Amino acid sequence: MLPVLLLGSLQWPSLGYASSAWIPIISGDITFFIPSSNINTHLEESVVYQDEEGSLYVQLSAAHDNKLLKLEGDKGSWTITDVTVSDLTDVSLIESEYQLKYGYFSGDAKEDFKLVLGDGWEDLLVQNNGQRYGVIIYEAADDGTIGNIDTNNDGIRDDVAVEIAKLFPNGNEKGYLEHVSFYTRQFLLDTDDLDKRRHYTEILKGYACLSATAAGEDAYAKIVSHHLDSKARFNRYIGNQRFLNQQTMSAESMDCVLEGGGVELVSGCFITEPTIFNGTVTGSWYTKTGMMPGENVKLTLNVKHTKYEGKFDFSYSFAGVEQERARIGPGGEHTFIIDNYLFENNSYLKLLANNTKGKIAKFKVTLICSEN
């Protein structure tokens, strides 16, 4: 009689994976039996699994349509995809140290879930937006440098992005905090005096918007404090503040001028080269320049008729409101001076040319932005 050795619960880790068959393997005079999974089995809902590469697997509850999800990544970056039981045929799984917890973590009335790691180093919040699931990292590394780690190069420190996700997973407040975070980091990193003032102005814009929300000021304080959580960062901030205290910084109002969609770029002001637009107009021509003057600046806007016979009216506007208009004839030109444009009037600059007679006219627009 051949000896029989069962390799099951005694040798293999418990997978929470219901086996319905055993495969015999004959080696010489010994027969081994190993468990065989089949595609009709399923993972237990209460258990988080992982494969040999560290990817995580979780079987969700009926409230989540019994979805089977795979989370791939590492500390700082994860992706999430739907899988089927058949995808696990050749995958070896063991129980992970993560624990599964359901809850309404995003404030959007859709149940999310967390994967909580036992040692507390890193929790994963998986947000349900009704169509798909996205992973928000709850902890991130800190290398001690002033700029710290920014793995996706979006200008926001990874650890600060984690804190923003905890405070406001979505909404305008999240966008305001991202704006503050981006420019606070720049304020600490930049050495140019003019850039420091520009970036601090952007921080003030974010504060103005956050102070108008219920928990905005507290959130602002938390995010700024995260940027000062080392001696080097704190000393740099204080040093830059001393510089700012020697400058004239004032604003007539602190109304919210941000849209709340995330980091909003500073204006193209203080550029070393003029911005030039060339246009042809037989009816109407316009462009939204992408310039959003964000400080106390002086704009010099020169329009020159360069070719053909058509006269045209040229104007510029902010926030959809026309500010000034001039008629330009063949060979003529006009210069607009936009002086003392304070940041609380923040909006995009739009240029418009209207040809009143319908004849062709070509023109050149030169825009110079300088500190007022």
Cα–Cα distance for residue pair 211/253, rounded to 1 Å: 13
Q: Give the residue-averaged pLDDT of 124-145.
A: 80
Bridge partners (DSSP) of residue 95 are: 49
Supply the DSSP string of 152-171, one letter for each residue.
Answer: T-SSS-HHHHHHHHHH-SSS
Classify 29 as helix, strand or coil. coil
Helices (H), the chain: 158-167, 172-189, 193-210, 216-226, 231-245
Q: Which of 173 and 23 is assigned the larger pLDDT? A: 173
Given the structure tokens 């330009």, which residue do they identify? 328
Cα–Cα distance for residue pair 281/355, rounded to 1 Å: 6
At 293, is the pLDDT very low, low, confident or very high (cuts 50, 70, 90)?
Answer: low
Q: State yes or no: pLDDT of 142 exceeds 90.
A: no
Amino acid, res. 32: F
The confidence score (pLDDT) of residue 79 equals 85
Classify 99 as helix, strand or coil. strand
Q: Give the residue-averaged pLDDT of 280-296.
A: 73
At 38, is the pLDDT very low, low, confident or very high (cuts 50, 70, 90)?
Answer: very low
Task: Find out whether 359 and 310 touch, Cβ atoms under 8 Å.
Answer: yes
The confidence score (pLDDT) of residue 257 equals 75
Q: State yes or no: pLDDT of 290 exceeds 50.
A: yes
55-90 pLDDT per residue, tens: 899 999 888 988 899 998 765 567 899 998 888 888
Task: Find out whether 269 and 343 touch, Cβ atoms under 8 Å.
Answer: no
Q: What pTM, to 2 d.p., does this model score?
A: 0.51
Q: Which of 313 and 125 is assigned the larger pLDDT? A: 313
Q: How far is CA 88 from CA 9, 17, 51, 83, in A?
A: 20, 11, 10, 8
| Torsion sign, CA atoms 59, 64, 69, 75 | negative
The confidence score (pLDDT) of residue 69 equals 92
Q: Give the residue-averaged pLDDT of 195-205.
A: 83
Q: How far is CA 120 from CA 70, 114, 124, 140, 158, in A?
A: 21, 12, 11, 12, 18
The confidence score (pLDDT) of residue 36 equals 46
The confidence score (pLDDT) of residue 42 equals 60
The confidence score (pLDDT) of residue 25 equals 56
Given the structure tokens 């740099």, which residue do they identify? 236
The confidence score (pLDDT) of residue 118 equals 58
Helix%, strand%, coil% for the chain, nearest 5: 20, 35, 45
Token pair, residue 144, equals 């001690």
The confidence score (pLDDT) of residue 335 equals 96
Q: State yes or no: pLDDT of 37 exceeds 50.
A: no
The torsion defined by the Cα of 289, 290, 296 and 301, in degrees rounded to 10, comes to -10
At 21, is the pLDDT very low, low, confident or very high (cuts 50, 70, 90)?
Answer: very low
Geometric angle at alpha carbon 118, from 78 and 163, rounded to 5°: 50
Q: Which of 106 and 141 is assigned the larger pLDDT? A: 141
Characterize the bridge pairing of strands 297-307 and 361-371: antiparallel
At 32, is the pLDDT very low, low, confident or very high (cuts 50, 70, 90)?
Answer: low
Which residues, 6+ apart, have CB-to-CB distance to 45 below 8 Å?
A: 59, 60, 61, 100
Q: State yes or no: pLDDT of 53 exceeds 80.
A: yes
